[in-house]
Structure 1
Amino acid sequence: MTMTEPVLSVFETLESEVRSYCRAWPVVFEHATGSRLYDEHGSGYLDFFAGAGSLNYGHNNPVLKRALLDYLERDGITHGLDMATTAKRSFLETFRSHVLEPRALNYKVMFPGPTGTNAVEAALKLARKAKGRESVVSFTNAFHGMSLGSLAVTGNAFKRAGAGVPLVHGTPMPFDNYLGGRVPDFLWFERLLEDQGSGLNHPAAVIVETIQGEGGINVARAEWLRALADLCRRRDMLLIVDDIQMGCGRTGEFFSFEEAGITPDIVTLSKSISGYGLPMSLCLFKPELDLWEPGEHNGTFRGNNPAFVTATAALETYWADGVLRERTLAQGGHVEGALRELCAEHARLGATYRGRGLVWGIEFAHKERAAAVSRRAFEHGLLIETSGPEGEVVKLLPPLTVTADELDEGLDILARSVRETA
C-alpha cells in the first residue's frame, strides 16, 4: 500500500517521549469500524491488535454504540463515583445472570478504578488484608500493570526499572514450562514453602495469568493450573487470576481459567469488560473475602457509567448463548492450522507458534525478526505488535468479531511478511 508521511509535529514536539505505539505505526488515525482503522488520508489497516485486547467486539460496534448514544442523549449519569445508578444496576444484574450464575460463581463485584492495574492493586491489597501477610508470589515473564504494586509482581526488567524505587513483597516462581519440563511442576515452590530456612515468607497469595500476553503468549497447561490451585489450597494462599487481557471471551470461554476447571479466590478483569474500549475494571472475589471497610479503597473514576452501559449491551449481545464461544474456538482452530503451515515453511528460521482461542504468537529464534515482520505487516496494512521479554514474539490479537474473510486476509499478510523478511 502507498505510505504517506503524516504530519506528526505536534506529537513530536509536545507529547512525551514515553509514547510507543505511534512509533511503530507512524500514521495519524482518524476513524475505525469493526476490524479496521483508517488514517486521515483514508488508508485502511486490518487490526489484529484490538486495543491490546480492549476491543474484543471490534471498533465502534454498532449495537454497543447505539446503546451508548441513547444513554447520552437522554442525559444519563456520566460520572457517579460509587453512587447507585440505573446503569450500574443494569450491569450488575446482567453480569450476574449472563456470567456468574451460568458458571456457578458466587463472586462479589468491586469497581476499583478505570484500568487493569487498579484491579490488580485492589486484588493484592485485599489478599494481604485477608491473610495478614505481605508476600505475594508471581511468575517469570508475568505482566500485571505499571503502578508500583503491580510492577512488584511483574517480571519484565525494563518495565520494573521504570519504578525508580525498590519493588518489594513479590517473589517470582517459574511459569509453566519455564525450565523446559526438566523439573517437576512446583518442586522448587513447594520446597521453599516447607523449608523453614528457605527465606520465603509465607505468601498471602499467588497471582497468575493463564496465558501471558505481554510475556510472549506463554500458555499454561490446564493440569499446571489445577496443580497451582491445589497448592494454594493446601498451603493457605489465595489464588488470584489476572484475566485482564485473556478474559471476556479471548480464549473462547468468558474466563480463561474455565478450561482448567478451577475457581480462583480473586479475579481481575478490565480491557474488554466495557466492550467498547471505555475505561472500566472489576475485581471479583469470594464473599468471605469481602473485608473492606466503606471507602477503604476508592477512586474518583471507579463508576464509569457509560462503560456500564456498553458492558451491559456487550453481555446481552454476545453472552446470552454460546455462539461467540463456538465461533472463537473454531476461528482459533483455523489460525492454529495456518500458523502450523507457516512455521513448517520457515522451520530454518526456528519459528514456533502457540496460543489458544483468538490469541496467538509466533516466536523467532532470531529475536529481531519479530519486529521486522511487524513492520512489514504494517506496510501491507496489518496492525500486529510484538511481545516477550526481548520482543521476540509476533502477537496476534484480532477482534472476536473478525469475519472469516478478514481473518484469512490478515493471515495472508502475516505469511507474506514472514517470507519477505526471511
Structure 2
Amino acid sequence: MGKKYFGTDGVRGLTNSFPMTAETALRLGMAAGRHFVRHTGRHSVVIGKDTRLSGYMIESALVAGFTSVGMDVFQFGPLPTPAVALMTRSLRADLGVMITASHNPYHDNGIKLFGPEGKKLDDETELQIEALMDGGLSEELAAPSDLGRAKRIDDAQARYVEIVKSTFPRNQSLSSLRLVIDCANGAGYKVAPTALWELGADVIPIGVEPNGFNVNEDCGSTAPGRLAKEVVKYRADLGIALDGDGDRLILCDEKGRVIDGDQILAMLARHWHKTGELAKPAIVATVMSNLGLERFLEGEGIALERTQVGDRYVSERMKETGINLGGEASGHIVMPDFAPTGDGLIAALQVLRVLVDSGQPASSVFRVFKPAPQLLENVRVTQGKALLTDAGVLAAIAEAEQRMGTSGRLLVRASGTEPVIRVMAEGEMKLIRSVVDDVRSAIERAAA
C-alpha cells in the first residue's frame, strides 16, 4: 500500500499546500503521539527545527497536536536534525521531531520523525501513523487533566556541542588548521562553528545569517561554489559544507576542489579498515553512489552493499548486517558508533581526525579514487512515479540498458523529496549523454 503523507524522508512539500499544511501537522502530532504512547505516566516528545519562516507555523501545530493527546513537548529551537535524534535518546523521549525540508529551498518544509532510540521510522510505522491520521482522532484526545505541557530547552545547543566534541579524540586538537565552514544559513549556523572553535580550529564561518528565507540559497552542501572561493581566498586547510538541517557533509580541499560523499566514504573506509575500526570489510551506500567507489573498495578488499536512495535505508541495511560505515554521495555519512543517524558535523570531525593524523594537505588525503563519468538529469514532472510505468518510458529504458550492456549503469527513479524523475547513467561519456537524452525525451513525451 502506498503512502499518502510520508515520502523518502518524512513528510515534505510546499508550505501551505498539501501535505505541508498546519492541519496536516496538527493531525500528525495527534496520530504520532498516540502511536508512541508506550507506558503509563507522562509521555514526551522533543521538537527541533531549521531556520525556515514556516517553522513557527508547523511547530505550533505540532505542539497543539501532541499536547492534545497528553504528550509533554520539549522545544529546542534551531538545531540540526542529527542533534534532535541524539537528544531524543538522551532525554529518553518517546518520540523526536525535526521540522525541516533539508536541502530544499525555504518555501518547502517537512517533518521528520524519530523513534525513542533516535532512529528514523520504518515504512510500516509510517503507514500505521497515516492510518491514525485519517481515522477518528477525536476519540483519542486526552482528558482536561491529562493534557501535555510545552517547555523550551534553552541549553539544547550547548548540550549538542558537548556531545559532538566527545566524538573527537581528547589527545588531538584542531589548532593547526584553518577551516571555512558553510552552514547553509540553516540549523547548524550556531553549533557547527562553535564546536570547531572550541576544538582549537581557526574558524571562518559563512552561511550563518539566516533570515527565514535564505536557507540553502546559493550556499551549503548543494551549492559549494562560494565555499570553494572562500577556502582559496583565506588559504584554508579545508572547507566544510553542511545542508539546511545539518545532516549532510561536503568538503573542499585547499585548492577549492569539491569532495563529495563518495570520496569521504572511500577515505574513511580505507582508513578504518587499516586501523581495525571497520566492523566488517564492507560499507553500505545507495544505488546513486559512483561506480568508481565500488571498484576502489573492491581493490581494498572492502565490499559495497547498495540500497535504494535515502539514508534511512542505508541505516536499516547497516543494522541488519552489522556494518558500521555507510552513506550517500550527497553527503549523508552514517556512523552508528557515534550517532543514530547521519550527522554532518560529527562526520566532519572524523574526517578532520584523519587529516590531522596524516600531516598532509586535504587534496592528498581525500581524493582516493577516480570517479567513473556520471551524468544526472532531473526531469520536472507532476505525475511522479506513474510515468515510470508508461510503455514508451519503459521501452526507452530497456533500449538504453541494452546499449550500455555491462560497460556502465543506468538508474531512473522518481525523487521522494521533489517533483522530479532522476535519470542517471555512468560509463563512457558520449554513450551516457545519448542514453540520458533518449530516456529524458521519453519521459517528457509521456508527461505532455
Query: TM-score, normalised on structure 1?
Result: 0.30
| TM-score (norm: length of structure 2) | 0.28
Q: Which of structures 1 and 2 has the larger relative contact order (alpha carbons within 8 angstroms, sep 6+)?
A: 1
Higher percent of residues as strand: 2
